[in-house]
């Protein structure tokens, strides 16, 4: 037996012959089952013993709005088991013979019209990237680095990049020694007058705040005239002390051994720069980013006491 009220339908399956009545032809039953109770067409079809396409056809006949896929999934959370099944299924599809090539080559040579470009631009005006302003974790950086190992540009890509370079006005030209000196001089002048252009890292800001609390004068991004010229993170004029705040990933902290090629090069570069600054009479203090984050004001003060700053 099937009971119905003005605002709700409740099915009571008391006999095996309940499917004999074609409830999908009842507009209000379909409306409340589909739009209010949010049952899917498949669920309603199983309930009434008919195909889900039959339900869709009658929804259209009654002008009942059919949910989009996004509306159907809104607010629903997939279980871990479902996520695994979806992942396995997508991998199986992607690994089919010829599937990758077919979809990779589908957009080659395709160009959007100017009208389409304007529409896409307008649609993305208010859309903000979910990861904008969020720094990558050290683990993510390692994964990104590993993903690029062994990657090489194809000959076709190299030719395309070469052709783009040919459009540059200085392509194929080699500056004279005099021009090189002028460029170097201008670069030094720019760096000296645009120190505020450089964005301080989080660990540099920590040290700057410590120095402000201790009422110690300091300079940021001071240009040291060594070859090649180098801007240091912090400089304390009262003792001619240079402080370098080294990020543990890019400067090759021992915890990342064996180090990558770029980390080994950076460590050598740091060592050479330190030796050159010491030769010029500077005192150099290098601190790891992981150490700086754990530092307290008193601990930092004790470190500076060794250099007779306070």
Count of domains forming the chain:
2
What CATH number should be reported for the domain holding residue 256?
3.40.960.10
Q: Is the pLDDT of residue 20 over 60?
A: no
Given 58, 73, 88, the domain boundary residue is 73
Q: What pLDDT score does 202 carry?
A: 87
Q: Residue 21 — very low, low, confident or very high, per pLDDT cuts 50/70/90?
A: low
The predicted model gives 17-30 an average pLDDT of 72
| pLDDT digits 0-9 by tens, 149-158 | 877 888 888 8
> 29 is in which domain, residue-wise?
2-73
Residue 276 counted as domain residue: yes
Q: Is the pLDDT of residue 239 over 50?
A: yes
Residue 154 counted as domain residue: no
Q: What pLDDT score does 188 carry?
A: 64
Phi-psi map region of 119: left, alpha, beta (phi>0 left; psi -120 to 50 alpha): alpha
**Alpha-carbon distance 150 to 152, whole Å?**
6
Residue 271 counted as domain residue: yes
Q: Which residues does 248 contact at the CB level (< 8 Å), separation at least 6?
A: 138, 255, 256, 288, 289, 290
Q: Residue 198 — very low, low, confident or very high, per pLDDT cuts 50/70/90?
A: low
Share the mean pLDDT of the chain. 81
Residue 262 CA: distances (Å) to CA of 145, 203, 266? 10, 21, 6
């Amino acid at each position: 037996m099937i009971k119905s009220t003005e605002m709700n339908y409740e099915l009571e399956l008391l006999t095996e012959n309940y499917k004999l009545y074609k409830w999908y032809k009842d507009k209000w039953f379909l409306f409340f089952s589909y739009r209010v109770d949010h049952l899917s067409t498949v669920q309603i079809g199983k309930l009434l013993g008919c195909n889900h396409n039959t339900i869709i056809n009658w929804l259209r006949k009654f002008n009942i709005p059919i949910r989009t896929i996004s509306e159907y999934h809104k607010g629903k959370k997939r279980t871990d088991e479902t996520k695994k099944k979806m992942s396995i299924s997508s991998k199986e599809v992607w690994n089919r013979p010829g599937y990758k090539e077919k979809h990779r080559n589908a957009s080659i040579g395709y160009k959007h019209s100017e009208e389409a470009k304007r529409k896409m631009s307008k649609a993305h005006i208010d859309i903000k990237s979910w990861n904008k302003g969020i720094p990558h974790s050290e683990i993510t950086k390692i994964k990104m680095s590993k993903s690029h190992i062994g990657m090489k540009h194809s000959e076709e890509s190299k030719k395309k990049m070469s052709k783009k370079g040919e459009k540059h006005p200085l392509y194929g030209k080699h500056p004279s020694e005099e021009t090189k000196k002028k460029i170097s001089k201008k670069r030094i002048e720019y760096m000296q007058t645009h120190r505020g252009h450089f964005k301080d890292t989080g660990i540099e800001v920590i040290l700057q705040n410590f120095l402000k609390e201790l009422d110690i004068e300091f300079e940021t991004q001071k240009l040291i005239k060594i070859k090649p010229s180098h801007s240091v993170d912090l400089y304390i004029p009262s003792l001619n002390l240079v402080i370098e705040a080294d990020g543990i990933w890019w400067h090759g902290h021992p915890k990342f051994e064996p180090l990558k090629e770029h980390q080994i090069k950076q460590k050598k570069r740091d060592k050479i720069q330190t030796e050159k600054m010491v030769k010029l009479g500077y005192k150099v203090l290098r601190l790891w980013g992981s150490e700086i984050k754990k530092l307290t004001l008193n601990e930092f003060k004790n470190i500076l006491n060794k250099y007779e700053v306070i």
